[in-house]
Amino acid sequence: MIQVIQAKDLFLKREVEQGTPKQRKVVEQILRDVQSKGDEVLFQLTKKFDGASLDSLRVTADELEQAQKAVDPTFLTHLKEAASRIRRFHEQQKQQSWMITEEDGTVLGQLTRPLERVGVYVPGGRAAYPSTVLMNVIPAQVAGVQEIVMTTPPQPDGTLYAPTLAAAALLGIEKIFKVGGAQAIAALAYGTETIPAVDMIVGPGNLYVALAKRAVYGQVAIDSIAGPSEVVVIADHSASPAYVAADLLAQAEHDPMASAILITPVKQLADQVAYELNQQLEQLSTKEIAGASLKNNGAICLVADLEEAIAVANRLAPEHLEILVEEPWQWIGKVKHAGAVFLGEYSPETIGDYFAGPNHVLPTNGTARFSSALSVERFLKKMSVISYSKEACLRDGHKVINLAKVEGLEAHANSIQVRLGGKEDG
């Protein structure tokens, strides 16, 4: 079921979702239609794709209240605790404006301001995850975003998945709309009669959502184009085969395209994990998805030692990296590329998905080489502040004139020249 291979044979096929020409054409048409016809198209497409005939796109206060009553009270208690932990972690990421004053009176600095309005897309169907609401909304709130607009596809009867709605209610999100797919992204980007245009769109979705986010980038900011989920587990002789197998399957059940890879220098562990995978897979209700993932994108990679294991993991730059070895902290300094790192046998990736506090919106497709988890910073923008003193302008003016003239920008040079009283020497 899962391949046992050598490091030289390990590769992870990664393709940024481009879609087929037909799929891209569908998305482009949806974007144009929503931009030109607004809510009318949203009602039509919601009926076409979700099977829901709606009277209104917006979720009512009564629906929010009913959702909180409908979910299990224990779930709601645990959701609140998770939200508290996530908020506490992201509070550490706050950034402030700053100014410095030089001896000549010049003031330089940076103003940090939150985005004004953010759109959060929350998937429905198989990927209806309340945790997605927490992870996308909380950092925006901590950053100081004043208005958060949420969209999520309805079920055929026109209702929304109660746990997702309960999570939104818990965080105080009031502007929630029953619309999904590329049409939701278009509505958030361009605005309609009912849905306001936003400054940034965050949240995962299917291929059509990803294509739409790519297409509207520039009109609005986006978080990323997420690919299939990934986990790499580095394990040595001290690791429990049952733990390793369970963690690989936890990732594999997300999607048939998800990848779950074990890297180990211990052949006996490799064999034991392969056995455990077969045993545990049979007990899963999601075994069809997880099995396809392991068959197509899973691997057990044998390496010479842990040094090579870390090197291979760095080359893969996975979304999630678990280090299940005897002394995990000994190796953290060697990790260069990963979305999130989980150290020790009691830090499974799953605890990061829901409860630990750090964000689970992470770079995929090897983009951990140059990008990071969703954070408070993504919801902030920064403006430089320059207040030059007369003394400094007279001192540095001739230098600026020289630089401008070399670039052939005469008016630039003149804007300084007039302040120097016609003299080129400062």
CA–CA distance, 235 with 309 (Å, rounded to integer): 9
Judge contact between 280 and 240, C-beta under 8 A. no
Q: Which of 319, 322, 345, 349 is catalytic?
A: 319
Q: Could you confirm whether 319 is annotated as catalytic?
A: yes
Judge contact between 27 and 151, C-beta under 8 A. no
CA–CA distance, 311 with 7 (Å, rounded to integer): 10
Pairing state between β 200-202 and 259-264:
unpaired
Q: How far is CA 111 from CA 139, 146, 199, 382, in A?
A: 19, 17, 18, 6
How far is the first Cα of the chain from the last one, in angstroms, to the nearest whole number?
76
Q: How many beta carbons lie within 10 A of that of residue 357, not counting itself?
A: 17
Q: Which of 90, 254, 320, 360 is catalytic?
A: 320
CA–CA distance, 12 with 15 (Å, rounded to integer): 10
CA–CA distance, 121 with 132 (Å, rounded to integer): 9
Q: Which residues have a catalytic role annotated?
A: 319-320
